[in-house]
Amino acid sequence: MENASGGMGGKVVLITGGTSGIGKAAATALAAMGAKIVVTGRNRERGERAVEEIRRESGGDEISLLVADLTVQAEVRRLAEEFEERHDRLDVLLNNAGVVQSKRTETPDGLETTLAVNHLAPFLLTNLLLGLLKRSAPSRIITVASEAQRWGKLDLDDLQSTRKYRGMPVYGMTKLANIMFTFELAERLRGTGVTANCVHPGAVNTNFGTNNSGLGTLLFRVSKPFMRSPEQGADTVIYLASSPDVEGMTGKYLSDRKLITASRQAYDEDLRKRLWEASEELTSLEVAA
């Protein structure tokens, strides 16, 4: 199904956390443009229900689900393998899944959960799929960051937030890590035809953050009526995934389809390289130089 509005016919798009919120809104819009959509979710039943809704709302029929718990690195690896078994190309990788937590918890791998899901999972998944992305070039990697990055500070000596844990600053730090990862990735991919950009979707009314307690959650609930819809939040994501206007653009941070500047640490090349090395270590990723 080809659609003139987006020209995504035949293109394959993988969206993490694509069963609700921004990810689901992006999946629906891109499917309506003719893309083959693969969404990931943790829960098979909920995921299959979302796939049916995306099919119905988009009129697209090539929508499928891969089940994976992104807190577990073995599942991230299995996700990449399963994707490659089923698909011989990947035109757009959308790293969208994220969490915010009021209390510090650890994943089954013994990693701080917010860091594991928001930064390490997309870092690992993207690297595992780079070969396929390069073979499918021109292809695009889009990572959903956030202006919460301004509340975060990257401390490589305490990436796991063992010394002090505060929900929003830690969330902000992982969103800053998303931007630093994107900038570093864009440099490493120059000349390959694969682009890497990130986006601040705005304050979006989703079920994000509702599993927490405390003042932050209360403020979040009170401000919900004033937030953007998932469709509005997904607009820049959809634009980056589909628009010919951004063909070849890489290493940028956008909001409302416009370039914006990240906080100062994001532009520290040495810090970005050190974050990359630390991330390789924490994901046991051995990448050929």
What is the residue type of 147? Answer: E
pLDDT, average across residues 221-248: 80
pLDDT above 50 for 3: no
Task: Report how far apart, in Å, the C-alpha atoms of 237 and of each of 29, 106, 240, 246, 253 are.
Answer: 10, 30, 5, 12, 11
> Looking at 165, 171, 239, 267, which residue is catalytic?
171
Mean pLDDT of the chain: 91
Residue pLDDT, tens place only, 172-186:
999 999 999 999 999
Each residue's pLDDT tens digit, 13-37: 999 999 999 999 999 999 999 999 9
Q: Is 171 a catalytic residue?
A: yes
Are 255 and 147 within 8 A, CB to CB?
yes
Is the CB of residue 204 less than 8 Å from the CB of residue 17?
no
Backbone angles phi, psi at 193, to 5 degrees: 85, 5
Would you place residue 1 in the very low, low, confident or very high pLDDT band (cuts 50, 70, 90)? very low
Q: How far apart are the first and last CA of the chain?
A: 40
Give the pLDDT confidence score for residue 288 in this predicted structure: 45
**Rounded distance between C-alpha atoms, residue 192 and residue 248, angstroms:** 10
Residue 173 three-state SS: helix
* Section 250-275 average pLDDT: 97
Domains and CATH numbers, the chain: 12-282 (3.40.50.720)
pLDDT in tens, 186-203: 999 999 999 999 999 977
Q: What is the pLDDT of residues 73-125, one digit of tens each?
A: 999 999 999 999 999 999 999 999 999 999 999 999 999 999 999 999 999 99
- Cβ atoms of residues 206 and 230 within 8 Å: yes
Closest CA to 83 of 146, 125, 53, 49: 125
243 alpha-carbon distance from chain centroid = 18
Which pLDDT band holds residue 210 (cuts at 50, 70, 90)?
very low
Report the pLDDT value the prediction gives residue 289, as an integer from 0 to 100: 39
What does the block give as tokens for 83?
A: 């994707």
- Residue 208 is predicted with a pLDDT of 47
Identify the band that residue 286 occupies on the pLDDT scale cut at 50, 70 and 90: confident
- What's the whole-number mean pLDDT along residues 36-64? 97
Closest CA to 6 of 36, 38, 39, 32: 32
State pTM to two decimals.
Answer: 0.91
- Nearest CA among 202, 258, 265, 268 for reference residue 234: 202
Query: Taking Cα atoms as reference points, which of 282, 98, 266 lies closest to residue 181?
Result: 266
